[in-house]
Amino acid sequence: MCKVNEILNSSRKIVLKIGSNVLAGADGNMDMAVVEDIAAQVSGLRDRGKQIVIVSSGAEVSGVSAVGVWSRHGDINYKQAMCAIGQVELMMAYKRCFAKYGVIVAQLLLTRANFRDPNTTLHIRNTLFTLLDEGVVPIINENDSVSVFELGISDNDILAALTANLWSADLLILMSDIDGVYDKSPKEHDDARLIGEVTDTNALRGSIDIAGKSSFGSGGMESKFDAAESVAEHGAALLLVGGKSPGILTRIADGEQAGTIFIPDGK
């Protein structure tokens, strides 16, 4: 049994972060086939006894899809307006897709500041536990429409790590537009090698190029390393997989080796 399969199947509490570029189609609009596939996979994992909390990007993508135009790229107010529109569209998409499996979803909009106040974090934690006890899938996103500070410098990889630590998750899965960590850029080098397991994140960080970010997303590889180090401090593993690969989590649960697993000490 491969390590990634073993960790996924032994994890009961899983935070699943879905990146903007996973949800965006080639035309820049929201890819409903991907949302439907994610709903099917999450429902399948729930049937295997897992509890799932989703941290989803994609409000901006969804807002652009609804409005049908993308302009004023440098205008923060316009970007926040797109996110406000997109939150409704995004949740409607998740609600529609999860309803096929009889699953209710709930939305929590948070900012990084929410995790700094002990009283607030207690209420977030209690809300998550209550929703999960009722069989509901919580879907968390950053409250971009009112959070200028977070919108400018933060990203949902870190929000997902904060959520995983708050909830004491066993595993954080990052669904990205890349299918794992490579020793060099696979877009530039045909001989790039996928690194399947990482046990020393800091050492790997210093040996490969992790700069840059994707077009719609605010985070790049560096934020994924930061998230891996954050959850490792709480004893959780992090799995980075390609979110556009159909049924990827189901296939891993069934034994396929895919993605990059960051393994903390003791796992």
Domains of the chain with CATH codes: 3-262 (3.40.1160.10)
Most confident option among 38-42, 116-120, 178-182, 205-209: 38-42
The identity of residue 71, as a single letter, is S
Q: What is the pLDDT of residue 212?
A: 46
Residue 162 has pLDDT above 70, yes or no: yes
Residue 173 has pLDDT above 80, yes or no: yes
Q: What is the 3-state secondary structure (H, E, C) of the chain?
A: CCHHHHHHHHCCEEEEEECHHHHECCCCCECHHHHHHHHHHHHHHHHCCCEEEEEECCHHHHHHHHHCCCCCCCCHHHHHHHHHHHHHHHHHHHHHHHHCCCCCEEEEEECHHHHCCHHHHHHHHHHHHHHHHCCCEEEEEECCCCCHHHHHHCCHHHHHHHHHHHHCCCEEEEEECCCCEECCCCCCCCCCCEECEECCHHHHHCCCCCCCECCCCCCEHHHHHHHHHHHHCCCCEEEEEECCCCCHHHHHHCCCCCCEEECCCCC
Q: What is the pLDDT of residue 14?
A: 98
**CB neighbour burial string for 98-125, b if at least 16 within 10 angstroms, e if fewer:** beeeebebbbbbbbbebbeeeeebeebe
Q: What is the pLDDT of residue 148?
A: 59
Predicted model pTM: 0.90
Q: What is the pLDDT of residue 267?
A: 62
Residue 220 has pLDDT above 80, yes or no: no
Residue 219 has pLDDT above 70, yes or no: no
Residue 39 has pLDDT above 60, yes or no: yes
Q: What is the pLDDT of residue 150?
A: 45
Q: What is the pLDDT of residue 210?
A: 55
Q: What is the pLDDT of residue 223?
A: 87
pLDDT (mean) for 230-256 = 95
Residue 1 has pLDDT above 70, yes or no: no
pLDDT band at 72 (very low <50, low <70, confident <90, very high): low
Express as a percent the part of the chain with pLDDT over 90. 53
pLDDT band at 153 (very low <50, low <70, confident <90, very high): very low
Residue 215 has pLDDT above 60, yes or no: no
Express as a percent the part of the chain with pLDDT over 70. 88
